[in-house]
Amino acid sequence: MSDNHVPSARTRVVREPHRGIYDRTTAYKILDEGLICHIGFAVDGQPFVIPTGYGRAGDNLYVHGSAASRMLRNLDHGVPICFTVTLLDGLVLARSIFNHSMNYRSVVVLGTAIAVKEREEKLEALRTISEHIVPGRWVESRQPNEQELKATLVMRLPISEFSAKVRQGPPIDDEEDLGFPTWAGVIPFQTLARPPVPDPKLDSQYQVPEYVEHYSRCK
């Protein structure tokens, strides 16, 4: 799809519209850095928001789970969803409590997910999710067997109706508060991987792979 995207009435940013971003390059960079999405949907008037892992391949997002999952069973029945990813980049401390904020990057995708039925696409979708979370891990792990594939439901969500929203920079205080006697600024946030911890049952012959030793979410 083209990088040029016209937001729908549902995805156009209304609050702080100058922070809205509608190009795929920016949205995909945020999606590719995130690890957890939240999927919102409603069943019989009751809203649910479920966190889960995901992966992106081109203009499609993939999620997976047990075929018995309430969320996935409802998605498979064509329930409209709201797919959201948020990255926190900093806490913004202003001089007034009213103007405190956060630096963040977020993406919202609206649509209807489609079940992946064909075996090869299903395997490729699972590989996409695995490689999104830990690049390099798929080829070093046991592949899913037929029983596991049958018990797993994979859903594909086209990235058709979406928007991104970004807040960056220092506090935005009112002019009359600039002389207020308190510190103001930003506490930066970053997702950092700690040193890997081996499984107690791991054979000592297996060393930490490079992709684990140098794992990072920064894209």
- pLDDT above 80 (res 1): no
- Least-confidence region, from 65-69, 109-113, 200-204: 65-69
Stretch (H or E) spanning 119? helix 119-133
Please count the CA atoms within 13 angstroms of the CA of 7 that sit on its side-chain side: 19
181 pLDDT band (50/70/90 cuts)? very high
Residue whose pair of structure tokens reads 């594909």 in the numeric block: 156
Which residue do the tokens 């999620």 mark?
63
The pLDDT value given to residue 4: 66
Q: Are 54 and 75 in contact (CB under 8 A)?
A: no
Q: Is residue 135 helix, strand or coil?
A: coil
For 90-131, how does the pLDDT look when each residue is reduced to its tens digit (9 = 90+)?
Answer: 999 999 999 999 999 999 999 999 999 999 999 999 999 999
Phi, psi of 25 (to 5 degrees): -60, -50
Entry pTM: 0.92
Q: Residue 30: which pLDDT band, with cuts at 50, 70 and 90?
A: very high
Q: What's the pLDDT at 2?
A: 54
Q: Which of 126, 146, 139 is nearest to 63 (CA)?
A: 126
Rounded mean pLDDT of the chain?
93
Reduce the DSSP state of residue 124 to 3 states and report it.
helix
* Structural domains of the chain sorted by starting position, each given as residue range(s) with its CATH number in brackets: 17-192 (2.30.110.10)
Using CA atoms, how far apart are residues 217 and 219, in angstroms rounded to an integer? 6
What confidence category does residue 219 fall into, taking pLDDT thresholds of 50, 70 and 90? low
